[in-house]
Amino acid sequence: MTLPASDALPGDPRFFHREGPFSIGTLAECAEAEIVGQDGAEDVMLRGVAPLQAATAQEISFLDNRRYLPLLAETKAGAVILGPAFRDKLPEGVVGLVSKVPYLAWARIAARFHPVTPARAGVHATAWVDETAQIGEGVEIGAFATIGAHAVIGAHSVIAAHAAIGDGVILGSHNRIGTHVSVSHAILGDRVTLYPGARIGQDGFGFAIGPAGFETVPQLGRVILEHDVEVGANSTIDRGSMRDTVIGAGTRIDNLVQIGHNAQLGRCCIVVSQAGISGSTELGDFVTIAAQAGLIGHIKIGDKARVGAQCGVMSDVDAGADVIGSPAMPFREFFRNVAFLRRMAKKDSKTEG
């Protein structure tokens, strides 16, 4: 077969539903942005979103980084969302939608053209739903999905093909459970999204040393995913041993992340791909854990702390602190150490030579 060019416009109709066209006025309103650069622009109709270099007069584009200013100068886009600092960089004939939060404006306009497909109410002919399960209004259940005994699926949720919702699990409304997800021993709030292959609620890694080998310690807690939580593809969240594992409202977890038993994450945390949070560790609100970072168990990370990529955290981190390195230290100290060591080792090698 012949592969497609990879510079196609976003929103390939094979895969994405499209609405519109919309007037620039409508888009500006939805993004709470100010229209600049051309009289009567609010009535111009646009049909989609596109990057600066690919957009035509019928698309709206986006700029939030100084290094893409050369692309702005040459763009053929009908309109561009941008921050106030760049408003006088707009080329002639390009309409500006000026927003103090241009990325948020972009998110909303893109979602206006390509809204999330609502649940298509109904249970696929091949799905297996236990007769004691409670299925809410407007729920969509895909092929070969399984819903266990006494499970509760809140209204307008989507359970994708091959997903497994275990006995007793409770899901709030408007959940989106991806393909091949498994959920057991868990209670989920509203608008929770689980991406394909996420594993929620299995046994934590708990055992005692007995005379003939390891003996499993029963894992008797649950997983609570509060409202608006998202969990990435193939990530794993173990249920608690004696208390619950809790992920706070609005927290977003990327792919291949591990969350150990009894961990407690606050609200609106960000946990990036391949990071790991060990058992019983607690995060405050608005904490960021960058990719491949690891936190040992039984520590506390304060509100708004930021843990850098590949960081190894072995003790508590203060609220608002920025740490990196393994073991973790303040950002400034880490880079000072790196620079010092480089300089000294180089000097030494010259002396030796």
Q: Which of residues 243-272 bind its own copies (CB under 8 A)?
A: 243-244, 246, 249-250, 252, 254-256, 258, 260, 264, 267-268, 272
Compute the radius of gyration of the chain from its Cα atoms: 25
- Which range, of 20-28, 37-45, 80-88, 97-105, touches its own copies by CB under 8 A? 97-105
**C-alpha dihedral (50, 56, 61, 67), degrees to nearest 10:** 100
| Among residues 21, 36, 168, 300, the one that binds its own copies under rule CB under 8 A | 168
Q: Which CB atom, from 40 or from 216, has the smaller least distance to its own copies?
A: 216
Task: Enumerate residues 56-95 that contact its own copies by CB under 8 A.
Answer: none
| Residue at 32: amino acid letter | E
Q: How many residues are there in the chain?
A: 353
Q: Tell the smallest beta-carbon distance from residue 301 to its own copies (Å).
A: 16
CA distance 313 to 279: 13
Q: Residue 29's CB: how many other CB atoms inside 10 A?
A: 13
* Bond before 21 cis per omega within 30 degrees: yes
Q: Tell the smallest beta-carbon distance from residue 40 to its own copies (Å).
A: 28
353 touches its own copies (CB under 8 A): no
> What DSSP line would sit under 124-168, residue for residue?
-TT-EE-TT-EE-TT-EE-TT-EE-TT-EE-TT-EE-TT-EEPTT
CA distance 153 to 232: 20
Q: Tell the smallest beta-carbon distance from residue 81 to its own copies (Å).
A: 11
Q: What share of the chain is helix, strand, coil (3-state, %, to 5)?
A: 15, 25, 55
Size of the site for its own copies (CB under 8 A): 127
> Which position has the token pair 């843990």?
307
- The one catalytic residue in 162, 174, 185, 261 is 261
Task: Enumerate residues 291-350 that contact its own copies by CB under 8 A.
Answer: 291-292, 294, 296, 309-310, 312, 326-327, 329, 333, 336-342, 344-346, 348-349
**C-alpha dihedral (254, 258, 260, 264), degrees to nearest 10:** -10
Q: Catalytic annotation on 150?
A: no
Q: Which CB atom, from 26 or from 38, has the smaller least distance to its own copies?
A: 26
Q: Tell the smallest beta-carbon distance from residue 113 to its own copies (Å).
A: 8
Q: Which CB atom, from 56 or from 234, has the smaller least distance to its own copies?
A: 234
- Which range, of 3-11, 38-46, 75-83, 90-98, touches its own copies by CB under 8 A? 3-11
Give the three-class secondary structure for 315: coil
Q: Which CB atom, from 185 or from 306, has the smaller least distance to its own copies?
A: 185
Task: Enumerate residues 127-166 that contact its own copies by CB under 8 A.
Answer: 128, 142-144, 146, 150, 154, 160-162, 164, 166
Q: Cβ contacts of residue 55 below 8 Å, gap of 6+?
A: 49, 61, 75, 76, 77, 78
Q: Tell the smallest beta-carbon distance from residue 194 to its own copies (Å).
A: 10
Task: Enumerate residues 177-236 that contact its own copies by CB under 8 A.
Answer: 178-180, 182, 184-185, 187, 189-190, 195-197, 199, 202-203, 205, 207-210, 213-218, 220-222, 224, 226-228, 232-234, 236
How far is the CA of 335 from the CAs of 3, 103, 204, 328, 342, in angstroms?
Answer: 44, 30, 36, 12, 11
Residues tagged active-site: 261
